[in-house]
A and B are shown apart, each in its own frame.
Chain A
Amino acid sequence: MSTLSVDTPQSQTRAKVVEKKGLSTAAKRRLPLLPALVFVIAVTQLPFLLTVFYSFQSWNLVRPGSRHFVGLDNYIDVFSDTTFLVALLNTVLLTVVCVFVALLLGLGLAILLDRKFFGRGVVRTLLITPFLILPAAGALLWKTTMFDPTYGLLHFVFGTDVDWLSEFPLASVMAQIVWQWTPFMMLLILAGLQSQAKDVLEAANVDGAGRWRTFVSITLPHLSRFLQLATLLGAIYIVNSFDAIFLMTQGGPGTASTNLPYYIYQRAFEGFDVGQSSAMGVIVVILTMIVATFALRLMFRTFSVNGGIK
């Protein structure tokens, strides 16, 4: 409301009407949010509460009547299970390495694409494609035509008989995941690069700043929120990686490439051990929550959710 119009009686009543309506509709305003909220709570939180409940029970699906309450036994078992610790370590390693490498590659590709050149649209289309193919298809593709020790392309290029999947299982899985996620990182960073104000870059050029200097002092700070977003989203999806491990290595050889999602899957659907796999699930959630609290706090500061509401 501008101060000028307040003097006219008509606009005064209008303002009152708006105010009154605003108060009485506070509940109404909340209404559009409710269906989504209720749905998400029902589908994501209730199963998790059941997981907590199951985690205090000894329950194996293949032994009917085995179900009984055991308190914290499952948790004690999980922490003394060396495979669980290996899987935890693998998960951390896989997530950190894949996010970091995909981010760097994505940044490099985005910089290469952030110019006008011949065939730019085609190159961008090509580079997006690994993100668009099914991860399951990507995993099988790498397992067969890339990593096969006899007929694979890596064998042909390097001329070695290395059996990549059994000698470097975790690194092989990582290579596939990085390949799959680099385009996503590239898209986000490219969007960031293209949203840069051109006049600032020109001003830097006029002031005699070199390319490197301009990149470090202007572009990188501008990109930081895009890089953080890419890191966060990438981490959320990569920490849950299952397709690549299930299809390429089955967690092996031994437990060399077992991550937590795959290990819990094994305990649940091959061992039918509801209690133990539930306990593992709870532990994973607690660990994720600790990490996510920091991540969310960081992100809320960056994107200033409160400030965003006008």
Chain B
Amino acid sequence: MTTLARRKAGPRALTAVTWVVAILFVFPLLWLILTAFKQEADAYTDPPKLFFSPTFDQIANVLKGGFLPYLSNSAFVTVLSTVLVLVLGIPAAYALSLAPVKKTSNALGFFLSTKMLPIVAAIIPLYIISQNTELLDTVWALVILYTSMNLPLAIWMMRSFFLEVPHEMIEAGRIDGANLPTLLRKIIMPVVAPGIAATALICVIFSWTEFFYAVNLTAARAGTVPVFLVGFITSEGLYWAQLSAAALLASLPVMIVGWIAQNHLVRGLSMGAVK
């Protein structure tokens, strides 16, 4: 073996190891995708079937089985709560980073500490309040709760992006008499836009996948996609193929968004950590 060949063999082996590990790790998910295209009979076999004639029956069954209202509830709650997080969070992140006042770190600490409160501790009052205000089983209860759930993390992440804005640029703008909205729009936004996109993405993922509030505060009218999946454990026995199809459809929107924006995700998380 020449030196060159030997030098290449090490990395190649490592690449092979990486691929094997990755595929093993994701195998349950690949299996889920396969199962989603099986007939029920092909889903329960011993040994498991790797080859079968694929079918779209299960996907069609899920779509016919009342999945779409849940999907639209999820979309509505996710989009609206993420917009609210940005509307409330961007000014707050600005105040905590570029125009800090006394007690700033207290406010930041407070926001972070709300993430430490276990959500179960508030579920009973939340249930009773939403019952009394007739928000129970409406999308509005979830919009409000998801906004408050994501806001602290979002403020904290966006603050770190705002700190990236050169201080001189803002001072110059201020001296020229720009007010806050103008400063935000003309100077700060162009710099922090990618960070805000990453933050919004995290909010979308957490809102779309949230389970606890959704299960306890919604039912048939305002249920989101995770609530739809619960139907599969309460029904007689489990329909694996149909369940897999439902799980796949329920996850697909977030999967696609996440795949497309994964560079943002890595950068967003890293910046949040460094600052």
Contacts and interface: CB of A to CB of B under 8 A. Distances in A.
A149 B258 CA distance: 33
Contact of A36 (B88, B144, B246, B248): B88
Interface stretch (A71-79, A185-193, A198-206): A185-193
B10 to A, nearest CB: 11
A225 B120 contact: no
B163 A310 contact: yes
B14 interface: yes
Given A142-B28, A260-B120, A125 B259 contact: yes
A309 B21 CA distance: 42
B48 A39 contact: no
The DSSP consensus for interface residues of chain A is helix
B31 A191 contact: no
Contact of A243 (B117, B152, B226): B226
A36 B89 contact: yes
A151 B255 contact: no
Interface residues of B, number: 107
A47 B157 CA distance: 26
A134 B229 contact: yes
B122 A243 contact: no
The DSSP consensus for interface residues of chain B is helix
Interface in A1-47: 14, 18, 21, 26, 28-33, 35-37, 39-40, 43-47
A39 B88 contact: yes
Interface string A128-169: 111111111110111011100011010110000000000000
A207 to B, nearest CB: 21
B121 A124 contact: no
Contacts of B117: 44, 48, 285, 288
Nearest to A263: B120
A100 interface: no
27 contacts: A18-B174, A18-B175, A21-B174, A33-B92, A36-B91, A39-B88, A40-B111, A40-B152, A44-B114, A46-B125, A50-B124, A117-B15, A123-B22, A129-B26, A130-B26, A130-B28, A132-B259, A134-B254, A136-B230, A137-B226, A145-B28, A145-B244, A192-B270, A260-B118, A285-B118, A289-B116, A309-B97
- Counting from the closest, the 6 A-B pairs by CB-CB distance are A191-B270, A32-B91, A137-B247, A281-B121, A50-B125, A43-B148
Given A48-B125, A284-B118, 19 more contacts: A14-B175, A21-B174, A37-B107, A37-B110, A43-B144, A54-B124, A112-B21, A119-B19, A124-B262, A128-B258, A132-B255, A132-B258, A133-B29, A135-B209, A137-B250, A141-B244, A229-B272, A296-B112, A305-B109
